[in-house]
Structure 1
Amino acid sequence: MTAFYHVCFVVPDIEQAMQDLRRAAGAEWSEPVSDRLGEWDFRIVFTAGGPPFIELIEGPSDSPWDASKGARFDHIGFWTSDVRHGSQRLEEEGMPVDFSGCLYGRPFAYHQMDSIGARIELVDVGRQASFLNRWHPGGKPMPAIDETPRS
């Protein structure tokens, strides 16, 4: 069972990145969406066609998606049954929280994984239905890492 569903790049120009990946790899895209988290306005888009997805995020300087120093590979995304317990497990494994959307009412967290030079994102599987409706209509549910504490 796998919970992996996307890779993400933060980019200074989302349209240019979409165009370049379309030309280089034939990637097809959904329409970008503007959103806000805390004090940061950002734009986000996912490839069309189903998992695994490529995600592009264009965020402002000093945000969790700051690309002011250039585009970069940012994170690998996984569904999880429990973000809090998953984050605790990753911290115990030496992967500290880099940013938590939970503080802003969004059930996801980024953890730094130095060995790959990027972050791991845990996203609550409860968000999966709305994700699929927005980015992959008609897509089948994907499994999640089971982070449910055992008694």
Structure 2
Amino acid sequence: MTAFYHVCFAVPDLEAAMRDLRGAAGVEWSEPKRDRLAEWDYRIVFTRGGPPFIELIEGPAGSPWDASDGPRFDHLGYWSDSVEAGSRRLADQGMAEDFSGCPYGRPFAYHRVDSIGARVELVDAARQPGFLANWHPGGDAMPAISEKGGR
């Protein structure tokens, strides 16, 4: 069972990235949203019609999504039935935690995968209904990584 549901790019200009990917790949976008995590205000958008989705995120300097050095591939996103257990599993495999939203009330964690120069994001599968309501209304539920018995 697969739990992959998105690929993310951190970008310094959300509108330019949306325009360019629309032209290059023909993707359609949902409405961008503003949010805040800790001291960071950021903007985020997902493609329509997924999964898999393309996520673009524009965050300020010093944030987990800082793209002040230019746009970059940031992470692959996966649903997980246990972010805590998944984070332990990834850390045990040498993929250090890079950032966790858990202390801020957001059940997700980023882990470095140095061999690809990016991160893997584990997101609590309990957030999936809210994600679908915001970004993919009417979309079917997606599977999650089962930390209780593999994938």
Q: What interval of TM-score do these two structures reach, taking the shorter chain for normalisation? A: over 0.9
* Alpha-carbon offset, residue 50 of structure 1: 1.7
Query: Deviation string for 1:9-67 (max 9, x for gaps)?
Result: 00000000000000011010000000000000000000001200000000000000000
Q: How does 1:10-49 map to 2 (within 5 A)?
A: 10-49=10-49
Aligned residues: 150
1:78-106 Cα distance to aligned partner (Å, 9 max, x none): 00000000000000000000000001000
The one-character-per-residue Cα deviations of 1:116-141 (angstroms, maximum 9, x if unpaired) are: 11000000000000000000000000
The structural deviation recorded for 1:147 is: 1.2
Q: Look up the equivalent residue of 2:22 and give its one-letter code.
A: R
Alpha-carbon separation, structure 2, partners of 1:100 and 1:35: 16
Q: Distance in 2 between matches of 1:145 and 1:42?
A: 27
Aligned residue in 2 for 1:65: 65
Q: Which residues in structure 2 correspond to 1:2-151 (within 5 Å)? A: 2-148=2-148
Partners of 1:138 and 1:125 in 2: how far apart? 17
Q: Which segments of 5 or more consecutive residues in structure 1 lack a partner in the other structure?
A: none
Which letter maps to 1:29? W
CA distance in 2, matches of 1:105, 1:148: 23
Coordinate RMSD, CA, aligned? 1.1
Query: Following the alignment from structure 1 to structure 2, what is the Cα–Cα distance between the partners of residues 12 and 27?
Result: 19
- Supply the AA of the counterpart residue of 1:119: R
Verify the 8 A CA contact 1:85 1:149 in the aligned structure 2.
no
Residues in 2 aligned to 1:43 and 1:148: alpha-carbon distance in whole angstroms: 34
- Moved beyond 6 Å, runs of 4+: none
Unmatched 5+ stretches in structure 2:
none
> In structure 2, what is the Cα distance between the partners aligned to 1:122 and 1:16?
27
Aligned letter for 1:74?
Answer: D
Identity of aligned residues (%): 71
Q: What secondary structure does 1:19 align onto?
A: helix
Task: Give the TM-score taking structure 2 as reference length.
Answer: 0.98
